[in-house]
Amino acid sequence: MIYIIGIGEDGIDGLLPYARSKLQESDVIVGGKRHLELVREFIHLKDVITIGSDLEAVLKLVEEKFKMGKKVVVLNSGDPLFFGFAKRLIEHFGKDNCQVIPTLSSVQLAFSKIKESWDDAKIISIHTRAKIQDYIWDILENEKIAILTSGKEDPKIVAEFLANNNIVVKNFFVFENLGGKSERILNLKIDEVKNYDFSMLNIIVIIKDKISRKFNFGLPEESFKYHTVKRGIITKAELRAIAISKLSLKEDSVVWDIGSGSGSVAIECALLSRKGKVYAIEKNEDLVEIIRSNKLKFGAYNLEIVLGEAPDILRKLEDPDSIFIGGGGRNIEEILSECLSREKLKNIVATFIVPSHFVRCYEFLKSKGYSPNAFFFNFMKLKDIGGYEKFDSYAETFLIHLSL
């Protein structure tokens, strides 16, 4: 049996009697340097495996000891099943060969210190490769956010991120060495955080007002800033709604908007795929400034504006799940070739006003063995013309949809 024991900064004193007995009976103790130091009085005459950056090597060593019939204890912070090593161990050795003995997690301790409930808190981790930017909507939409960090600079990084995105908080707590002799709890203003030197072992709790997110795609053109002369650079609301529906977006989709114009399609995609990434690709610098203004207005934090011309600029971007082509008719074959070379691609939607561009797109896809769907839309609105009403055509557009 492998015993996965949670331990806090209070060390052995904080362990349950059962956990302490398993530690005493063990042949092998596995843990990070900090955890091993906390149980140094038990290490004498035992095999010790130090957890470093190479977790696969650690698993291999543990497996060797386990197959030899050794009693193995693995130390982990707090609750080992809460962003801990236990999940990896259980996947490797199986549930029947592992027992988890938790202690209080850092999040439990933190909220108890400030006497706040945490059943309604959003808990995020930037402990490994995740970045705080990935959690913008989690922060915006929740009143209480606990952030598990990876080092002494993380509180400053988080505070700077909040300031740069104009996110107002009531409290910014930094908890250091919770449960240990050097425990420190700070309640700081955002502009004060940069002045502090923090411990490597810290956790952040943010208390703020909740921002409700309400969004419908296919917003009126007037909602966006657009070029008053080049009116064609904004996709009409009804066409935009149809096009986005056919992109089949997920919460974490990666999207290219080629020929972004005012950025209306890219912004609505970004707000729908809030945990994904949307690239607004535009070759005209004056339009890039308009996209930037719309991005700020709608808070499309996961939208990246790319100045350049397709297809060349596309080669620098990560693989998309979905692509909208609202411009680039003159180079449509080259653009499609680059798009179709991407392995993750699931949907392409292309719109055209010029019939010859539509025909070239359709025929190119057919020549490559695909079966695209083709549509023609004539959008009309009821208009009062002096005593009576008639439907007046205001947009005629070709649309091609390819699902892969």
- Domain residue extents for the chain: 2-104, 107-207, 221-403
What CATH number is given for 221-403 in this structure?
3.40.50.150
Listed residue (105, 51, 101) closest to 78, CA to CA:
105
* Domain 107-207 classification at class level: alpha beta
Q: Is 107-207 the same fold as 2-104?
A: no
- Report how far residue 83's alpha carbon sits from residue 119's, in angstroms, rounded to the nearest whole number: 17
What pLDDT is recorded for position 365? 97
166 phi-psi bin (left φ>0, alpha ψ -120 to 50, beta other): left
Q: How far is CA 295 from CA 64, 224, 368, in A?
A: 55, 10, 36
Question: CB–CB of 77/119 below 8 Å?
Answer: no
- How many Å apart are CA 343 and CA 213, to the nearest integer? 33
- CATH class, 2-104 region: alpha beta
pLDDT by 10s per residue, the chain, length 404 = 999 999 999 999 999 999 999 999 999 999 999 999 999 988 888 999 999 889 899 999 999 999 999 999 999 999 999 988 999 999 999 999 999 999 999 999 999 999 999 999 999 999 766 788 888 889 988 999 999 999 999 999 999 999 998 899 999 999 999 999 999 999 999 999 999 999 999 999 999 998 776 667 788 888 888 765 454 468 889 999 999 999 999 999 999 999 999 999 999 999 999 889 999 999 999 899 999 999 988 888 899 999 999 999 999 999 999 999 997 678 999 999 999 999 999 999 999 999 999 999 999 999 999 999 999 999 998 988 888 899 988 889 999 999 99
Whole-prediction pTM value? 0.75
Tokens for 154? 């993380």
CB 250 within 8 A of CB 321: yes
Cα-based distances in Å from 316 to 219, 312, 342: 31, 8, 12
Q: Give the model's pLDDT for residue 230.
A: 53
Q: For residue 268, how far is the Cα from the chain centroid?
A: 17
Model pLDDT, residue 229: 44
Instruction: Return the CA Rg of the chain.
Output: 28
* Residue among 21, 57, 68 at smallest CA distance from 42: 21
H helices of 102-194, in order, are: 106-114, 136-140, 154-164
Segment (H or E) for 112: helix 106-114
Tokens of 112: 């108890």
